[in-house]
């Protein structure tokens, strides 16, 4: 950077302004870029604040903000304060008591050095989808808080991270400190509930303690352990099940049995190998580590409750990293948000982040079994509200009692869901948790539909193709089935009312004996009971452009 024709006084003024310059945010391509900008005009140098707030509030907890002294206070602003700020310039000289330049002396000018531009892994489209869903959830459920994380399970790249309540970085002083200081996806700790069962499942499969399709388990609705009665969420229990059905039904006594088969040393070894009890090391400030039982204090009851996700304390980012390892082939990756450091003038990539493998936790074969079991949970079990027609989705619900004043609350819960897709080759993992939603407090009812919406929109955006080879969904009473639209061309109205079996409603246009066109087209997937518009004619090849008459594309 060159500054032309500045006097000593104006140069000192300019440098004083420069030292107060803030870091701004702009959106470029698929990621977010933090940058500095400045303007030089003739003899007057001005520094322009480049803070584009249209997107800044969307990623407020990730980006953070700076203080009036340009020091990063939260988020990546704090984490990478030195790299973003660069170095201030200076002018040194000998002066008299009045501050005037001493005769014969000269000024020494040190040119300021711009900070680097930071490109993040955050995908602006996926981030926007998540923020939209959290906003709607807060309104619908009047929750205390809500959060969501999206990650590439094959690399650890964070594709989206958001929480509510949110704040405007430019006016952070107007918000409570616990809102802008706490990035809930990495700071919040709580008992995970049934999403943690994925870890118990993976450990039991890796140690060959269970065959999901051959081993049987009877659930009377409770299990007695160490003098304590631990109940299943379903009153009266699930009765006789395979262990695959134990997973589908999220049966607590069944997972207690898996924990007992493993033993405390083995189970807690896997829990630690999956990253629980320590920070993931994500490159954001304020991460918590969670709390695990000391092995010496784990008795029969502690072993049992840990197996189904009670009594341990974890963070959302730990769960996302751990479940990603369980379904990506067994590899635990360090999550990260820094994609690259870029030179502010040349655009040259100065430093690029690479995926960091922490360890191999389970085998490829075990991971495949976990994926298949969790896909069955979404198609046939408690995760059905996350089912997406045309996409293979796996996942697990979670409903955990909150601990208030040292006691489990019977009225307040944290409900959650973690899902991934496609189930046979995961490209994205999405986790959401909602704190104390009003009304029904079950992860399958509250959190699973949120993840369904995020995944469906994200998969479309990512151009993941729709497929037909997914596990068929089992419908329960009151649920609307998704059905395939048949080819009706050539049929008579009488044929249709006889053959449709009440799957569809009909709306007829035109006159004639035969159906010559229809909308939706054959093969489309729609809700049972949807309306099919049929266009009638007397000659089968007499296909008039009826769709245009309806104001639609042919």
pLDDT digits (tens, 9 = 90+) for 256-307: 999 999 999 999 999 999 999 999 999 998 999 999 999 999 999 999 999 9
Which pLDDT does position 501 carry in this prediction? 58
Q: Which residue has the tokens 């499942």?
A: 201
Q: Which residues contact 500 (CB under 8 A, 6 or more apart)?
A: 486, 506
Give the start-end residues of each E strand in 405-452: 407-421, 428-435
Largest Cα span, the chain: 108
pLDDT level of residue 228 (50, 70, 90 thresholds):
very high
- DSSP 8-state symbol, 233: S
Q: In terms of pLDDT, which residue wins out, 274 or 77?
A: 274
Q: Phi first, then psi: what are they for 491, rounded to 5°?
A: -85, 155
CA atoms within 13 A on the CB side of 270: 26
Which pLDDT does position 541 carry in this prediction? 59
Local structure of 355: helix, strand or coil: coil
**Would you say domain 482-549 falls under CATH 3.30.10.20?**
yes
- Quote the tokens at residue 494: 């009488």
Predicted TM-score (pTM) of this structure:
0.77
- pLDDT of 4 > 50? The answer is no
CATH 3.40.710.10 domain range(s) in the chain: 124-461
Which pLDDT does position 544 carry in this prediction? 44
Which of 36-45, 249-258, 395-404 is most confident?
249-258
* Cα 293–chain centre separation: 27
Of the candidate ranges 157-161, 208-212, 545-549, the one whose mean pLDDT is the lowest: 545-549
- Quote the tokens at residue 477: 């009473």
Which pLDDT does position 477 carry in this prediction? 58
- By C-alpha distance, which of 122, 90, 84 is closest to 108? 90
- How many CB atoms neighbour CB 83 within 10 A? 17
How would you class 457 by CB atoms within 10 Å of its CB: exposed for 0-12, middle for 13-18, buried for 19 or more? middle
CATH 3.90.1310 domain range(s) in the chain: 8-120
Q: In terms of pLDDT, which residue wins out, 451 or 523?
A: 451
Q: H or E element: which one contains 460?
A: helix 443-461
Q: One of 145, 194, 285, 313 is an active-site residue; which one?
A: 194
Which pLDDT does position 530 carry in this prediction? 80
Q: 124-461 belongs to which CATH class?
A: alpha beta
For the question of residue 285 being annotated catalytic, the response is no
Task: Give the rounded percent of residues in the chain with a pLDDT score beyond 70.
Answer: 83
- Quote the tokens at residue 461: 């955006």
Distance CA 42, CA 547 (A): 64
Q: In terms of pLDDT, which residue wins out, 407 or 36?
A: 407
pLDDT digits (tens, 9 = 90+) for 469-509: 888 777 665 666 777 888 888 888 777 766 665 577 788 88
Which pLDDT does position 378 carry in this prediction? 95
Q: Which residues contact 461 (CB under 8 A, 6 or more apart)?
A: 125, 126, 129
The CATH classification number of 8-120 equals: 3.90.1310
- pLDDT of 347 > 90? The answer is no
Distance CA 277, CA 189 (A): 11
CATH 3.30.10.20 domain range(s) in the chain: 482-549
Which of 75-89, 143-157, 166-180 is most confident?
143-157
pLDDT level of residue 352 (50, 70, 90 thresholds):
very high
């Amino acid at each position: 950077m060159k500054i032309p024709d500045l006097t000593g006084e104006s140069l000192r003024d300019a440098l004083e302004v420069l030292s107060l310059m803030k870091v701004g945010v702009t959106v470029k391509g698929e990621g977010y870029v933090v940058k500095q900008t400045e303007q030089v005009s003739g003899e007057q140098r001005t520094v322009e604040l480049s803070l584009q707030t249209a997107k800044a509030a969307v990623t407020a907890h990730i980006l953070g903000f700076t203080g009036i002294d340009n020091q990063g206070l939260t988020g990546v602003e704090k984490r990478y304060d030195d790299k973003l700020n660069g170095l201030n310039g200076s002018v040194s000289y000998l002066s008299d008591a009045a501050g005037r330049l001493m005769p014969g002396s000269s000024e020494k000018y040190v040119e300021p050095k711009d900070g680097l531009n930071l490109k993040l892994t955050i995908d602006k489209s996926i981030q926007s989808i998540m923020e939209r869903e959290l906003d709607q959830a807060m309104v619908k459920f009047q929750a205390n808080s809500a959060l969501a994380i999206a990650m590439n399970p094959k690399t650890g790249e964070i594709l989206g991270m958001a929480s509510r309540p949110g704040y405007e970085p430019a006016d952070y002083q107007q918000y409570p400190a616990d809102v802008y200081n706490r990035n809930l996806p990495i700071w919040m700790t709580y008992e995970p509930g049934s999403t943690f069962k994925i870890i118990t499942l993976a450990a039991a499969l890796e140690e060959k303690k269970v065959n999901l399709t051959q081993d049987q388990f009877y659930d009377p609705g409770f299990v007695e352990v160490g003098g304590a009665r631990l109940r299943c969420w379903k009153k009266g229990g699930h009765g006789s099940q395979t262990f695959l059905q134990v997973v589908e039904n999220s049966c607590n006594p069944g997972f207690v049995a898996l924990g007992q088969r493993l033993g405390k040393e083995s189970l807690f070894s896997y829990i630690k190998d999956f990253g629980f009890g320590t920070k993931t090391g994500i490159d954001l400030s304020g991460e918590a580590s969670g709390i695990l039982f000391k092995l010496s204090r784990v008795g029969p009851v502690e072993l049992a409750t840990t197996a189904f996700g009670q009594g341990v304390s974890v963070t959302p980012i730990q769960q996302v990293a751990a479940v990603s390892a369980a379904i990506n082939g067994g590899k635990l990756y360090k999550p990260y948000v820094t994609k690259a450091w870029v030179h502010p003038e040349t655009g040259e990539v100065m430093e690029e982040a690479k995926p960091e493998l922490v360890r191999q936790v389970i085998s490829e074969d075990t991971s495949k079994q976990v994926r298949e079991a969790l896909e069955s949970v979404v198609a046939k079990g408690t995760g059905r509200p996350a089912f997406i027609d045309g996409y293979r989705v796996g996942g697990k619900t979670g409903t955990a009692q909150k601990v208030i004043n040292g006691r489990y609350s019977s009225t307040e819960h944290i409900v959650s869901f973690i899902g991934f897709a496609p189930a046979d080759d995961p490209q994205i993992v999405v986790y959401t948790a909602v704190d104390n939603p009003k009304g029904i407090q079950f992860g399958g009812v509250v959190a699973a539909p949120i993840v369904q919406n995020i995944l469906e929109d994200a998969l479309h955006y990512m151009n993941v193709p729709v497929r037909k080879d997914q596990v068929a969904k089992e419908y329960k009473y009151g649920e609307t089935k998704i059905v395939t639209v048949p080819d009706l061309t050539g049929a008579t109205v009488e044929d249709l009312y006889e053959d449709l079996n009440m799957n569809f409603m009909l709306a007829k246009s035109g006159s004639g004996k035969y159906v010559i066109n229809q909308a939706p087209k054959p093969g489309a997937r729609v809700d049972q009971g949807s309306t099919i518009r049929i266009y009638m004619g007397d000659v089968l090849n007499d296909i008039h452009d009826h769709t245009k008459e309806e104001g639609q594309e042919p």
